Amino acid sequence: MGSYRMCVCFTRKFKVTEAAPPLDIKAAFNRYAEGGPHMTAEQLHRFLVDVQGQGLATKGDAEGIVQQLLHKRHHMAKFRRHALTLDDFHHYLFSADLNPPIGDQVHHDMTAPLSDYFIYTGHNSYLTGNQLSSDCSDVPIIKALQRGVRVVELDIWPNSTKDDVHVLHGRTLTTPVELIKCLKSIKEHAFSASPYPVVITLEDHLTPDLQAKVAQMVTQTFGKMLFCPDSECFKELPTPEKLKYRIIISTKPPKEYLEAEGNKRKMNNSHNVKESDDDVWGKEPAELTVDQEDDKTDSDASENNQDNEETDASEPEVRLSRAPAYKHLIALHAGKPKGGLKEALKVEPDKVRRLSLSEQALEKATMSHGTDVVRFTQKNILRIYPKGTRFNSSNYKPLIGWMLGAQMVAFNMQGYGRYLWLMHGMFRSNGGCGYVKKPDFLMNVNPNGSVFNPKADLPVKKTLKVKVYMGDGWHLDFKQTHFDLYSPPDFYTRVGIAGVPADEIMKKTKKKEDDWTPVWDEEFAFPLRVPELALLRVEVHEYDMSEKDDFAGQTCLPVSELKPGIRAVPLFNRKGEKFNSVRLLMRFEFI
């Protein structure tokens, strides 16, 4: 008898009831169906224009939605009616395919120089896991390209017999992958998600012989896809539109070439010719960690070259003859001038370059040279990379770079977490093509010569009102016992803004107990000073009294792309992969 009682106590209450449409949806239906039981295509069209802000929607669009819904929901081959019930209308609004929160088309101007865009950028793109002992592989590169990532980083080293080139994270236990394999995979998948250019940044630790070998591999693999500039370096960068389906190589010019150039210049200087700014890069003061990755490149290259240094004097000439082929591949020159950070951020009138700063160096720069950084990024490319201590492939806050106009905020795409969700969110903009036009204020110079200062106290530009109606789909995507062994889950939603510091905030709904289809019906207002850089953060958690709350989905959406009105918002797992069914019904309004 006792054991029987136990069973009774723990009967699982897992019945999933369909939640009724929220009051706002009933009210909208009644209003636009003019009190009738059905909403016609014409009435739906009015709703799309008035409530959903779809001024360009046609009656034909509305008819298409009605046909699609009736076919999908009622499998009517021949329609007896051409109108929607309240349930059909609710189903339409709650369908992530038919009524998404942002568009999927490229709509930014793609004819400005590359420096005018935030570019989706990977760091150590070849690592499968942590920075110290994971395998190097072309698989994460392929995954990143399929996500729309447009900048791939490869660390290139001689193999053990010094006759071929491997990709690996130097001085760690990561197992290498052959460079040629990575190049072939890039060629195959570069444009699977976007037609816009892919930049390969090379961390080069090679001898001149192997640089020549890389030049050959790259040229043979990419052929006409490879973009080689006509002149030695850009005065202004070309546009994403012009570079469609092209591959761009970015690294420091070969050392031997620079040394020869330096010698040539010394001779010129003796004839009173002014030395150009395009000089041989000096050492940064260590505490600035500017281009540390590039600095280690120099020291590694010199280690690799030590064997060669002891050969006879004619060798440099042979090496020099190999440098041009490799140098000719480099469309976007990396490197930095001599001196400190102020010097590194100088804008040269007739030359565009790429500068790399670690996340700590950027934070220092923000404190002392914020507007210099903005001015630099109006013409040149700034790449930010994670500090070396992030062994577990974690990431930093991308907005620190974006606020200053940094185009390449490089991320460990395998380091899942909130910062990577922000990266995914930013690059959902502009149809997910991997290039997002920077806001005008980052590109403008004011009449008094000043540029945007992210530290300035700015007024509120607009307020985003967000209503969280309800959620659904967990019972389809999760096991019944996933959140709680004996009862339905207790969900709550966190919603807020990532952006400039003054805009950042998170709020949360009340928890909805024992419900697979929770209805919250709560509204939040977010005043925004810089809406152009704001991302809407949404997370759902399941309340757990005894342990950490369970994760139940997330998304991050660029505020500038949000469609007003009532929208279905699909949620993603921790890795940023979309759930099949989990979604929220939300309303967005700008005031």
What domains does the chain contain, in order, with CATH numbers? 23-93 (1.10.238), 114-443 (3.20.20.190), 462-590 (2.60.40.150)
Q: Are strands 491-498 and 505-508 parallel, antiparallel or unpaired?
A: antiparallel
Q: Which residues pair with 358 in a beta bridge?
A: 385
Which helix (H) or strand (E) element contains residue 4? helix 2-9
Under DSSP, the state recorded for 501 is G
Instruction: Return d(Cα 534, Cα 553) in angstroms, integer.
Output: 20
266 φ/ψ angles, rounded to the nearest 5 degrees: -60, -40
Confidence band of 305 (pLDDT split at 50, 70, 90) = very low
Give residue-wise pLDDT tens across range 425-473: 999 999 999 999 999 999 998 888 788 887 789 999 999 999 999 999 9
Query: Of 275 and 410, which is predicted with more confidence?
Result: 410
Give residue-wise pLDDT tens across range 105-127: 999 999 999 999 999 999 988 99
DSSP reduced 3-state for 581: strand
Instruction: Return d(Cα 225, Cα 474) in angstroms, integer.
Output: 44
Give residue-wise pLDDT tens across range 147-173: 999 999 999 999 999 999 999 998 888
Give residue-wise pLDDT tens across range 559-584: 999 999 999 999 999 999 999 999 99
DSSP reduced 3-state for 449: coil
Q: Is the pLDDT of residue 296 over 80?
A: no
Instruction: Return d(Cα 332, Cα 103) in angstroms, integer.
Output: 32
- In total, the chain counts a number of residues equal to 591
Catalytic residue check, 108: no
**Taking the CB of residue 380, how many other CB atoms lie within 10 A of it?**
22
What pLDDT does 4 receive?
Answer: 45
Q: Please give the share of the chain, as a percent, with pLDDT higher than 90.
A: 65
Under DSSP, the state recorded for 526 is E
Q: Is the pLDDT of residue 227 over 70?
A: yes
Q: Are strands 462-472 and 165-167 parallel, antiparallel or unpaired?
A: unpaired
Instruction: Return d(Cα 218, Cα 224) in angstroms, integer.
Output: 11
Look at the alpha carbons of 54, 56, 57, 58 in this order and tell me if their dihedral is positive or negative.
positive
Q: Is 125 exposed, middle or buried (0-12, 13-18, 19+ CB in 10 A)?
A: buried
Amino acid at 10: F
Closest CA to 399 of 534, 306, 264: 534
Say which of 45, 91, 123, 541 is annotated catalytic.
123
Which helix (H) or strand (E) element contains residue 119? strand 117-119
Q: Which residues pair with 199 in a beta bridge?
A: 151, 248
Catalytic residue check, 169: yes
The long-range contacts involving 16-20, CB below 8 angstroms and separated by at least 24 positions, are: 16/475, 16/488, 16/516, 16/517, 17/517, 18/517, 19/470, 19/472, 19/517, 19/518, 19/519
Say which of 91, 166, 169, 475 is annotated catalytic.
169
Mean pLDDT, the chain, rounded, equals: 86
What pLDDT does 310 receive?
Answer: 43
